[in-house]
């Protein structure tokens, strides 16, 4: 298959890509010279970089609208947003916002390398349901979750794993209460 051939994608499949020439040396985390080569190659990426599919992993569960993915060992972690009710534009700004919050659910899926869901958690509270991606720092998974509209609020939990309501229940409850009582404006709570 040529790089230009379009493909119909199953919405519940991950299509993994790589940039031509980038794939060499991008395996497991390394230090020293190998890491410097990776950094140099990544810094050369542009909007015009050519990518090619290297694998398709069928997922055996509904994924909704995936937002980000990171591999940690033999697991893939995927953030996703499930839109229950679309946002609606206002005719004029209301409290600095141009649309309603809509309704939805954020998800964090843990998937094995065969595409099977191992476990999942629901992300967010109330109007804050849209995960903004995902990252792994070698110790913790980081997932910012925000409202699904511009100029709104987000909560980022730093220095914990992916279940703040279990790992830091009191801090999580305080942040949720503070968020619910916030009158207006863009606010990010970071802990």
The pLDDT tens digits of the residues spanning 32-65 come to 566 677 777 778 888 888 888 888 889 999 999 9
Query: Where a domain ends, among 11, 41, 58?
Result: 58
The CA distance from 47 to 3, in Å, is 16
Shared domain for 70 and 163, answered yes or no, is: yes
Same domain membership, residue 97 and residue 32: no
Into how many domains does the chain fold? 2
What pairing do the DSSP bridges indicate for beta strands 188-190 and 154-156?
A: parallel
Same domain, 90 and 143: yes
Mean per-residue pLDDT for 170-185?
A: 54
Residue 32 CA to residue 37 CA, distance in Å, equals: 9
Backbone angles phi, psi at 14, to 5 degrees: -95, 130
Q: Which pLDDT belongs to residue 19?
A: 44
Mean pLDDT of the chain: 74
Do 157 and 72 lie in one domain? The reply is yes
Gap between the Cα atoms of 95 and 185, Å rounded: 8
Residues 182 and 96 in one domain: yes
Asked if residue 17 and residue 71 are part of one domain, the reply reads no
Domain boundary at 29, 58, 87, which? Answer: 58
Q: Each residue of 49-59: b (16+ CB within 10 Å) or e?
A: eeeeeeeeeeb
Task: Give the pair of three-digit tokens for residue 90.
Answer: 């206002």
pLDDT (tens digit per residue) in 140-161: 888 888 888 887 777 775 555 5
Look at residue 14 and tell me whether its pLDDT is greater than 90: no
Q: Are residues 54 and 36 in the same domain?
A: yes
- What's residue 188's pLDDT? 41
* Same domain? 94 vs 68: yes
| Per-residue pLDDT, 136 | 84
- The CA distance from 191 to 102, in Å, is 26
Lowest mean pLDDT among 28-32, 101-105, 110-114: 28-32
pLDDT band at 165 (very low <50, low <70, confident <90, very high): low
Distance, CA of 27 to CA of 46 (rounded, Å) = 21
Domain end (from 30, 58, 86): 58
Q: Tell me, yes or no, whether 69 and 163 share the same domain.
A: yes
Which span out of 7-21, 132-146, 154-168 was modeled with the highest average pLDDT? 132-146
Torsion angle of C-alpha atoms 96, 99, 104, 106, degrees rounded to 10: -50
Residue 131, strand partner residues: 145
Domain limits for position 29: 1-58
pTM, 2 dp: 0.64
Q: 82 and 136, same structural domain?
A: yes
Q: Are residues 49 and 67 in the same domain?
A: no
């Amino acid at each position: 298959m040529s790089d230009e051939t379009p493909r119909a994608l199953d919405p519940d499949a991950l299509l993994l890509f790589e940039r031509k020439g980038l794939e060499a040396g991008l395996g497991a985390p390394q230090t020293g010279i190998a890491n410097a080569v990776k950094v140099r190659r990544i810094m050369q990426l542009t909007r015009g970089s050519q990518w090619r599919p290297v694998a398709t992993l069928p997922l055996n569960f509904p994924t909704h609208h995936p937002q980000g993915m990171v591999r940690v060992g033999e697991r893939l972690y995927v953030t996703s947003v499930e839109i229950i009710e679309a946002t609606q534009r206002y005719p004029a700004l209301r409290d600095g916002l141009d649309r309603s919050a809509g309704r939805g659910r954020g998800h964090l899926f843990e998937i094995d390398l065969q595409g099977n869901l191992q476990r999942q958690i629901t992300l967010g509270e109330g109007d804050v349901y849209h995960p903004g991606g995902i990252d792994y720092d070698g110790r913790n998974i980081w997932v910012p979750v925000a409202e699904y509209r511009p100029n709104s609020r987000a909560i980022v939990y730093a220095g914990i794993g992916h279940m703040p309501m279990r790992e830091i229940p009191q801090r999580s409850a305080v942040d949720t209460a503070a968020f619910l009582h916030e009158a207006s404006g863009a606010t990010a709570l970071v802990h």
